[in-house]
Structures are given as structure tokens and as C-alpha cells.
Amino acid sequence: TAAVDLSCVWHNLEYMACTWHPGENASSDTNYTLFYWFDGLKNPKKCGNSSVDQGIFECIFNLTFPKDTTTYPAISILIRDDSEEIRPVCASKNPTTLVKPATPRQLTLSKTNDKIDVKWSESETFPKSCLQYEVKCCNGDLDIGQIIPVIKTVHQNSCQSYESFPSFSEINSVSIAGIDANSKYTFKVRAKPKPECYNSDFHSDWSEEKSIGEKRDSTIYFVLIITIPLIVAISTIVLLVYLKRLKILILPPIPDPREILKRMFGEQNEDSQVSKKL
């Protein structure tokens, strides 16, 4: 009857969300309640923001510490029901392993010559230099490519060489050099806690995608490939016909003398035959 599959995530160092499934032998009307406690609280606190969705229980409670804190106390969690028939379950969570940053916001793109500058807002809840960012650049509509670690602020490889790549940066901006002026580029960003600060493997969700540049329309090139040879062929035929007529006008054909003599003698014979009859 005890709650199973307890999982907790510490969102943006602001609140913790815990989910669990009901016990196999728990009745359908079991009303689980979550309590939490850590060093610094006088008494355990009850989590009041609870919900159930498709048989999965969830409870969310505020969990904040001073921004300059470097060590965090373990969080003790108790899940039970008022009924004595439901077995309680206890767990201890290390919050540094549960950190999930918020989605980066205010993503902006700007292009100067052959370089694109990508910037986004910094987190206000994390200590400085405790987040690293992953920037994904896609050339066109493709969403596959190589992973390239970014060490410098200006990336020496272009998105033209790689359909897409994630790049890691400790600052909230990155520059992509060597871009194609006639291509469309799409960017998105997500954050991850640095291992020096937190032992968490959670990434934030990807930010909203932003695009810059215009994508080549392959339809236009296909039409041009078909149309240009056709126009050249038609123009050649028309030109040949026109030149043939022009040649006839400038250099008319010379009559054959034999045909002229034949017509002359033929007309004389006809005249003589008519005279004899008369």
C-alpha cells in the first residue's frame, strides 16, 4: 500500500516537484499526503499543492536557499495517508542531484557580415558561473548534426559545415562565424548545471526557436533549370527560320535557264498548233 516510484526535481532552485505512484494494494480512494523536512526547519511541513493525473500523484512545495549558499542540506520526505491501512514511506534526497534550470528566455539573434551573434537572458536564481549553456544551430530545417564544444566566444566553424550542433558556453552569448548569407539559420538554447556546483544531470527545456536569414527556394532553381534550356531551344528554332527567310529575300534563287527555254518553246508550239487549226 505504500507509495512507490518516488521522483523529485528541484526546479530552478525555487520549488521541488515530487511524483509517485500508488501502492499495488492501495485502494482507489487513497489520499496520500507528502511531508518534508530539512536541517533548518523546526518542524516538518505539509505539502499542500497536490494533484493526481492518470493515477500519478504530484506535490509541489517551495524550496529556496540564499543565493550564495554552497552546501545544501538533505531533504527528508515522508508520504503517508491518514488511514492506518496505508504504509508510510520515507526517503532522503540530496537536492544538488535534482537541480533542473529554468528554460533560457529572451533569445535574440543579430547578423553582422558573415557572423551571427546569439544572446539570451542569464538566470537570476543560480550563483554566477554555476550554469553552462548549450546552443543548437540548424542550417535550414534539418535537426541532425555533430556536437562541437565551444571554448571561445567566437566559433570558428560555421553552421554551413554542420547541419546542426550543440555548443557549450559558460556565458550567455555565442557568436557563429563563417555563415552563408543566402541560408536560413535556426537557434535554440538550454541550460545545464555545472558539475562544480551541482551533481545534477538535468537539462532545462529547450528555449523557443528563433530564425534568421532566408532559405533558398529550391523550386526556383528547378524551374530555371527546366526553363532556360527550353527558351534557348525555342529561340534557336525561331532564329533559324528567320535567317532562312532573310536569305531568300536578300539572295533570291536564280531561275534555271533550261526551265525558261522549255517554257518559251512550249508556248511557241502551242501557238503554232492553234494557227494550223484555224
H-run or E-run covering 242: helix 218-250
pTM, rounded to two decimals: 0.69
Tell whether the torsion through CA atoms of 118, 184, 187 and 177 is positive or negative: negative
Domain 4-100 part of CATH 3.40.50.12280: no
How many other C-beta atoms are found inside a 10 Å radius of the C-beta of residue 229? 10
Mean pLDDT in the chain?
79
Cβ atoms of 201 and 180 within 8 Å: the answer is no
Number of CB atoms found within 10 A of residue 218's CB:
8
> pLDDT band at 145, cuts 50/70/90?
very low
102-146+153-216 placed in CATH 3.90.230.10: no
Q: Which three cell numbers stand for residue 18?
A: 515530487
Cell of 275: 494557227
Q: Given pLDDT bands bounded at 50, 70 and 90, which one contains residue 211?
A: confident
Q: The C-alpha cell of 121 is what?
A: 537572458
Residues 116-141, mean pLDDT to the nearest whole number: 83
Q: What is the identity of the amino acid at 24? A: E
What are the boundaries of each domain within the chain? 4-100, 102-146+153-216, 217-251
Mean pLDDT over residues 7-12, rounded?
94
Q: What is the pLDDT of residues 24-67, one digit of tens each?
A: 888 878 888 999 999 988 899 999 898 988 888 999 999 998 88
Contact of 57 with 3, CB cutoff 8 Å: yes
pLDDT at 152 over 60: no
pLDDT in tens, 29-39: 888 899 999 99
Same fold, 4-100 and 102-146+153-216: yes
